Amino acid sequence: MTTANKKIVYMDNNATSQVAPEVIEEMLPYLTEAYGNPSSMHNFGGQTGTAVRTAREKIASLLGAEPEEITFTSCGTESDSTAILSALRTYPEKRHVITTRVEHPAVKSLCENLESVTGHKYKVTRLKVDSEGMLDIAEYEAALSDDTAIVSVMWANNETGVIFPVEEMARMAKQRGILFHTDAVQAVGKLDINLKNLDIDFLSLSGHKLHAPKGVGVLYIKRGTLFVPFLTGGHQETGRRGGTENVASIVALGRACELAGEKMAEENGRVRQLRDKLEEGLLSKVPKSMLNGHKTSRLPNTANISFEYVEGEAILLHMNQHNICASSGSACTSGSLEPSHVLRAMGVPFTAAHGSIRFSLSVYNTEEEIDFVIEKMPAIIESLRKMSPFWEG
Amino acid sequence: MWEYTDKVQQHFLNPHNVGEVDKPSGSGDVGSLACGDALKLTLKINSDDIITDAKFKTFGCASAIASSSVLTEMVIGMSVEQAAKVTNEDIADALGGLPKEKMHCSVMGREALEAAIADYRGLILPMAEGEVVCECFGVTDLDVIRAINESTLRSVEEITNFTKAGGGCGKCEDKLREILQTTVSSKSEVPVLQVKPKRMTSLQKIKKIEEVLEREIRPGLRKDGGDIELIDVDGDFVIVSLRGACKSCNKSQTTIKEYVEKKLRELVLDSLIVEEEN
């Protein structure tokens, strides 16, 4: 990939991903000649309805779900809000929500609002994580109560890639008659998911994390789950989500899911090997560096590494000079003054939390790029450490 | 992505005067690892009280490093007396400006310079005597008052941008608001009369504010399903409460500052400060 003739080394796929060329090809006709409205009576519109149906089938197939369990939304955040608010409206007498301390802002902020905006009508339990980012299932079990309306736990963490045992957690919720939602935005396409045999009631996914464009998401709603829509309007999505279908992006997401299914083995094979090589290379070449997150219960594409005594934004801007794209959990990248809530919840010390860099790969990364990053990083860290008053180098 | 000026980028990528001067005449250490930025400034000062060398070591983001670098450039050649007058605004200006969320980096530069000069003069900084308001970042009430006066800050958010106070757990927000109110009103007693010869009675002011709210502000808010209510007017402080959709909107602070306060300052009195009722 290039911009302005400079080769970009893109390792920020948990933020967003390149739209696959096959996906663009498939969606283009729906931005040009096939512009009909799927709800129209004429054949011209009807053909886009068929395209939406085909896409729905492809997505269902990747998730091991039925097509009618797939509802299209505008993004992962909308899917998350829809699921959680639906559960609260379905069971208005229940006033308790269980989530974790490391959720994406899409769920985190909603839960904060549930407490503050409603005048603390709702009680939210945020499950702790240990130093490797893992949950304590005993704490979860103890938190489940008759007052719990819904559990919302992410399948995989966006910052560290740590995978939570959502299958088991959903089963435990089900036994208590409690709805279970998972934000699987980072997991879909990277992990083998088969919802048919699971007790997950709601699952959110987002197109742009798996090589489809931004602006399209899905909420999986298990058959038989009581549901109250969030966005009301026309009869689209069988009344579950109003608004004319984003046909081109839906078609794109269908193709992207199909590709993700085909490339699942590569993601868990070649991409994992590249990630491991990057991780081992950096940890061995840069002193005082450490991995954040569980070593094995982790997405195959993500490595979150802290470089002690240096600050993340400064690292990223030096990497930017070499056209290497990644992210940081440093406070200074976000304008807030506190570093990543995920790393703080894990108890990562301040010395390391401010200097964390997240590398997130995709099937488009090459070994050459990994070697390039391993070559460039030590000098960047060393130059910043020389400047740091805390570094006794 | 931050919008940094070319000057910030130059000083960040190729910082000048990194390190520590040998046998410094004065040395200033500010910030900490926990805070996310820290600066050690060392000065060499000759017998004529002229700064002949300055070096820095900084842990922090691009603007912290750039602020430190440009600061050393600025002070070399200055007399100690001149250097003591350098403000954080001077540092930010020398960089062609900093994003407002990053102004605290320039404040850190000024603090380190002050600490180094005090060390050279064998003095204890007055700041050390203040009472800590923000425990997360160790900011004292004197630091806050100084920032309010020097940079004409008018909201808690601005105080956070400049001093970091309130940017951690947020528990000190009420205290900061209190300091802001006292500082602004004690300052405005005399000078405001000079600037604003035409004084309104409280009744006139309230009437005018209500009028502007009704005519200029409510229609826009109502269009989005929201509303606003005037709770109290206390001197220059206008306390309002957002209703309906505005209440749960995460942009409510922006609505109040960028929209309501702007309009009221424009149409009623330019010293008004609008705050949301807790």
Quick one: B112 and B159 in the same domain?
no
Compute CA distances B127 → A111, B102, B208, whole Å: 40, 22, 41
Domain count, chain B: 3
Q: Where are the domains of chain A?
A: 2-18+264-387, 21-259
Query: What integer pLDDT is reported at residue B198 of this predicted model?
Result: 58
> Does a structural domain hold residue B195?
no
Strand partners of residue A183: A204
A382 at interface of B, judged by CB pairs closer than 8 A: no
Can you tell me the distance from the alpha carbon of A348 to that of A307, in angstroms, rounded to the nearest whole number? Answer: 12
pLDDT classification of B16: cutoffs 50, 70, 90: very high
For range A103-115, the mean pLDDT = 94
pLDDT in tens, B134-183: 887 788 888 889 889 888 888 888 888 888 888 777 788 889 999 998 88
Closest C-alpha to B96, from B63, B55, B53, B59? B63
What span, in angstroms and rounded, lies between the C-alpha atoms of A105 and A17? 19
Indicate whether B187 pLDDT > 70: no
Q: How many CB pairs under 8 A join A and B?
A: 75
Reply yes or no on whether the pLDDT at A385 is more than 70: yes
User: 3-state class of B26 per DSSP?
Assistant: strand
What pLDDT, in 10s, does the model give residues B56-70? 999 999 999 999 999
The answer to whether the Cβ–Cβ distance between A311 and B247 falls below 8 Å is no
Residue A357 has pLDDT above 80, yes or no: yes
One of 1.20.1250.20, 3.90.1150.10, 3.40.50.1110, 3.30.420.40 is the CATH number of A2-18+264-387, namely: 3.90.1150.10
Q: Is the pLDDT of residue A212 over 80?
A: yes
Q: Do B62 and A317 touch (CB under 8 A)?
A: yes
Placement of tokens 């409280």 in the chain: B202
Token representation of residue A121: 């009508």
Mean pLDDT of the A265-277 span: 98
Q: What's the confidence (pLDDT) of residue A382? A: 96
Question: Residue B17 belongs to a domain with what CATH number?
Answer: 3.90.1010.10
- What is the predicted pLDDT for the residue at A140? 98
pTM: 0.81
Domain boundary among B93, B121, B149: B121
A113 has a chain B CB within 8 A of its CB: yes
> Is residue A5 scored above 60 in pLDDT?
no
Side-chain-side CA neighbours of A372 within 13 Å: the count stands at: 15
Does residue B197 lie within any of the structural domains? no
Q: Which of B13, B33, B58, B246 has the most A C-beta neighbours within 10 Å, making it the best mutation to test the interface with A?
A: B33
In the prediction, which pLDDT does A379 show? 97
- Thinking of the domain A21-259, which architecture would CATH place it in? 3-Layer(aba) Sandwich (3.40)
Does the pLDDT at position A327 exceed 90?
A: yes
Where in the sequence is the domain holding B221, given as residue range(s)?
A: 202-276
pLDDT for the residue numbered A267: 97
- The alpha-carbon gap from A339 to the nearest alpha carbon of chain B, in Å, equals 8
pLDDT at B126: 54
- Confidence class of residue A292 from pLDDT cuts 50, 70 and 90? very high
- Note whether A307 contacts B: Cβ–Cβ < 8 A: no
Residue A74 has pLDDT above 60, yes or no: yes
Select the highest-mean-pLDDT range: A350-354, A357-361, B270-274: A357-361
The pLDDT value recorded for residue B197 is 43
pLDDT(A335) > 70:
no
Known catalytic membership, residue B172:
no
Cross-chain Cβ contact B59/A317 below 8 Å:
no
Task: Determine which one of A75, A111, A257, A332 is catalytic.
Answer: A332
One domain for residues B39 and B135: no
Give dist(CA A27, CA A250) in Å, integer: 8
Contacts of B40 in chain A (CB under 8 A): 389
Token pair, residue A382, equals 């060393």
Name the residue among B180, B182, B190 with its Cα closest to residue B159.
B180
Query: Chain B neighbours among A 326-365 (CB < 8 Å)?
Result: 330-332, 335-339, 350-351, 354
Mean pLDDT confidence for A163-180: 98
Which of A70-84, A220-234, B137-151 is least confident?
A: B137-151
Q: Rounded CA gap, A326 and A377, in Å?
A: 12
Which residue on chain A is closest to B64 by alpha carbon? A314
Q: In chain A, which residue's Cα lies nearest the Cα of B68?
A: A387
Token pair, residue A215, equals 């602006």
Establish if B110 belongs to a structural domain. yes
Q: Which of B162, B188, B214 is the last residue of a domain?
A: B188
Per cent of chain A over pLDDT 70 is 97
Q: Are residue B146 and residue B168 in the same domain, yes or no?
A: yes
- Give the residue, B228 or B195, on which the prediction is more confident: B228
**Using an 8 Å Cβ cutoff, are A388 and B58 in contact?**
yes
Residue that has been written with the tokens 């600050």 in this structure? A311
Contact B250 A109 (CB under 8 A): yes
Q: Do A354 and B250 touch (CB under 8 A)?
A: no
**DSSP string for B245-275:** HHHH-TTHHHIIIIIIIHHHHHHT-TT-EEE
Q: Which one of B13, B59, B164 has the shortest CB-CB distance to A309?
A: B59
pLDDT at A2 over 50: no
CB contact under 8 A, A338 and B167: yes
pLDDT band at B217 (very low <50, low <70, confident <90, very high): confident
What is the model's pLDDT at position A4? Answer: 54
Residues of A in contact with B67 (CB under 8 A): none
Give whichever of A44-48, A246-250, B111-115 has the largest mean pLDDT. A246-250
**pLDDT tens digits, residue range A25-70?**
999 999 999 999 999 999 999 999 999 999 999 999 999 999 999 9
Percent of chain A with pLDDT over 90: 91
pLDDT band at B245 (very low <50, low <70, confident <90, very high): confident
Chain B interface test: which of A122, A311, A385 (most B C-beta within 10 Å): A311
- What is the residue-averaged pLDDT of chain B? 86
**Are B33 and B64 in a shared domain?**
yes
What residues of chain A, 192 to 251, have a C-beta less than 8 Å from chain B?
A: none
| Closest partner CB to B12 (pick from A317, A332, A386) | A317
> Do B174 and B269 belong to one domain?
no
Q: Is B105 a catalytic residue?
A: yes
Q: Note whether B117 and B10 are same-domain residues.
A: yes
**What is the rounded CA–CA span in Å between residue A63 and residue A204?**
11
Rounded to an integer, the average pLDDT of A383-391 is: 92
Considering B121, B137, B170, which residue would you say is the last residue of a domain? B121
Shared domain check, B117 and B77: yes
**For residue B211, what is the domain's CATH number?**
3.30.300.130
pLDDT digits (tens, 9 = 90+) for B120-132: 998 766 555 678 8
- Chain A residue numbers with beta carbons less than 8 Å from the beta carbon of B15 are 387
Interface touch A339/B58, C-beta < 8 Å: no
DSSP B180-218: HHHHHHHHHTTHHHHH--SPPPHHHHHHHHHHHIIIIIH
Predicted pLDDT at B33:
79
What's the confidence (pLDDT) of residue B188?
A: 54
Higher pLDDT, A159 or B200: A159
